[in-house]
Amino acid sequence: MVDADESRLAALARNGDRKAFAEIVKRYEKKIMKLGFRMLNQRQEAEDVAQETFLKVYNNLNRYDMTQKFSTWIYRIATNLCIDHLRRRKEQVSLDAFSADPANESSNRELQAKIADKWSTPENQVILSELQDQVQKAVQQLPDKYRLAIVLRYMQELSLQEIGEILEIPLSTVKTRIHRGREVLRKKLEHL
């Protein structure tokens, strides 16, 4: 349901009303900071994302569809900026080393350590690096809703509950998106 007050503020801000835009910032700055911090796990990057988000919102108010929820639009902008920051970090992650069960996190870390020992030769490090690059490319090709769930879970190591809160979706939907994202990745990477 569209919030009439937010639509009114967006319309006023679109027409140059700085107080209306200041009110939008006031309403969303803590939420966007929280989202950025949870996705990026670094305060400075979260602050950068929040600043970039409000700059993009201000510069693109003319593109905002007044029939849609403003909160959805601003969260989408912030989420995409967080994903861009994650891409720039170029974190190397192999999803095959992870269990879908969050209760197995210690065994996941042990498995990663064993894999790292096995792959410690320079030749194997090159192979592993290429494999991780292919996994990263496959993750980036996922549909947005699956990619976001996978990034939050495996790269940011957030709990399923936290992901649900950030995306404002039920826990069952979070589990479904992670499962389906892993299945798509598995199919894309089965040749490896």
What rounded mean pLDDT belongs to the chain?
A: 79
State the DSSP code for 190.
T
88: its two tokens: 């720039």
Whole-angstrom distance, CA of residue 48 vs CA of residue 89 = 14
Under 8 Å between Cβ of 7 and 66? yes
54: its two tokens: 């409000």
Average the pLDDT over each of 64-73, 83-92, 164-173 and give the range with the smallest value. 83-92
Given a cut of 80, whether residue 103 has pLDDT beyond it is no
Backbone angles phi, psi at 134, to 5 degrees: -65, -40
User: What pLDDT sits at residue 154?
Assistant: 82
Higher pLDDT, 90 or 18: 18
Read off the pTM. Answer: 0.51
Higher pLDDT, 39 or 69: 69
Please compute the mean of the pLDDT values over residues 49-53 and round it to a whole number. Answer: 95
User: What pLDDT sits at residue 65?
Assistant: 87
Share of the chain above pLDDT 70, in %: 78
SS3 117: helix
User: What pLDDT sits at residue 172?
Assistant: 95
Please compute the mean of the pLDDT values over residues 45-70 and round it to a whole number. Answer: 91
Share of the chain above pLDDT 90, in %: 30
* Cα maximum dimension of the chain: 61
Q: Which domains does the chain possess?
A: 4-89 (1.10.1740.10), 95-189 (1.10.10.10)
SS3 120: coil
Q: Of 33, 51, 48, which is closest to residue 166 (Cα–Cα)?
A: 33
How does residue 96 score in pLDDT terms, banded at 50, 70 and 90?
very low
Higher pLDDT, 158 or 15: 15
Whole-angstrom distance, CA of residue 29 vs CA of residue 68 = 20
Q: Which residue's entry shows tokens 């974190």?
A: 91
Please compute the mean of the pLDDT values over residues 102-123 and round it to a whole number. Answer: 54
Whole-angstrom distance, CA of residue 144 vs CA of residue 1 = 22
Backbone angles phi, psi at 113, to 5 degrees: -65, -45
Q: What is the length of the chain? A: 192
